[in-house]
Chain A
Amino acid sequence: EAQVTQNPRYLITVTGKKLTVTCSQNMNHEYMSWYRQDPGLGLRQIYYSMNVEVTDKGDVPEGYKVSRKEKRNFPLILESPSPNQTSLYFCASSPELGANVLTFGAGSRLTVL
């Protein structure tokens, strides 16, 4: 089944403890992206990647890192999480070079205490 898989789906952690949210797609998509969703703010783009080793900042990149070493994987790294990063995170991919016709993962709910 064609899909975007995120892990973990739920995570409670403490301030400053590094964590990684993995994202993998099995559709050979070029484009991948991370979003966070907060009540009343819609979805905000964190980082995106147009291809392997090519990444760029979205609208809210502070406090996050990403890497794209392989086409299928696009992990989101929080080096030193803070409570304001408590959010619902989504990974998405597109068969095109841009942010068009996105396939989303099921989401990762992160709580930072």
Chain B
Amino acid sequence: SQQGEEDPQALSIQEGENATMNCSYKTSINNLQWYRQNSGRGLVHLILIRSNEREKHSGRLRVTLDTSKKSSSLLITASRAADTASYFCAPYTGGFKTIFGAGTRLFVKA
């Protein structure tokens, strides 16, 4: 198992703008997942990108994966106030442990 490190730690944008969050990891992975956590609530699985994929879309979410740089990015387009949350990446290596980093706190101002 390994930990993903999210960057930036915090991000504040206006409603309608795009938000980009980055994740770096250290070793080879099977896939990489992104989760969202609304304040004090459980994490919600957003999207999974496999190691042989470079880009994946789901609604307003776009995830890219660069295995040569061991990094991923999550783009939220046309952000809304409801997107205000913390976002975590989870690099998955096939084990029984998942290590979550401190996440990126996104604040979308109405």
Cβ contact within 8 Å between A101 and B45: yes
CA A50 to CA B88, docked complex, whole Å? 23
Q: Which stretch of B53-61, B66-74, B96-104 is in the interface?
A: B96-104
Chain B, interface size category, equals 20 to 34
Q: Which stretch of B10-18, B20-28, B36-44, B75-83 is in the interface?
A: B36-44
Complex interface: chain B residues within 8 A of A101 (CB): 33, 45, 48
* Known contacts A100-B92, A101-B33, A45 near B97 by CB under 8 Å: yes
Complex interface: chain B residues within 8 A of A103 (CB): 45
* Known contacts A41-B102, A42-B102, A99-B1, A107 near B96 by CB under 8 Å: no
CA A101 to CA B90, docked complex, whole Å? 9
CA A90 to CA B101, docked complex, whole Å? 15
- Nearest-neighbour CB distance to chain B for A58, whole angstroms, equals 6
- Nearest-neighbour CB distance to chain A for B39, whole angstroms, equals 11
Output the nearest chain B residue to A99 by Cβ-Cβ distance: B98
CA A106 to CA B92, docked complex, whole Å? 23
CA A100 to CA B45, docked complex, whole Å? 10
Number of interface residues of A (CB under 8 A): 29
Complex interface: chain B residues within 8 A of A109 (CB): 40
Contact of B103 among A42, A45, A50, A90 (CB under 8 A): A42
* Known contacts A104-B42, A104-B44, A98 near B102 by CB under 8 Å: no
Q: List CB contacts (< 8 Å) of A52-103 with chain B.
A: 56, 58-59, 88, 90, 92, 97-103
Cβ contact within 8 Å between B97 and A90: no
Cβ contact within 8 Å between B42 and A33: no
Output the nearest chain B residue to A56 by Cβ-Cβ distance: B96
Does A19 count as interface, using CB distance less than 8 angstroms?
Answer: no
Binding site for A on B (CB under 8 A): 1, 3, 30-31, 33, 35, 40-45, 48, 88, 90, 92, 94-103
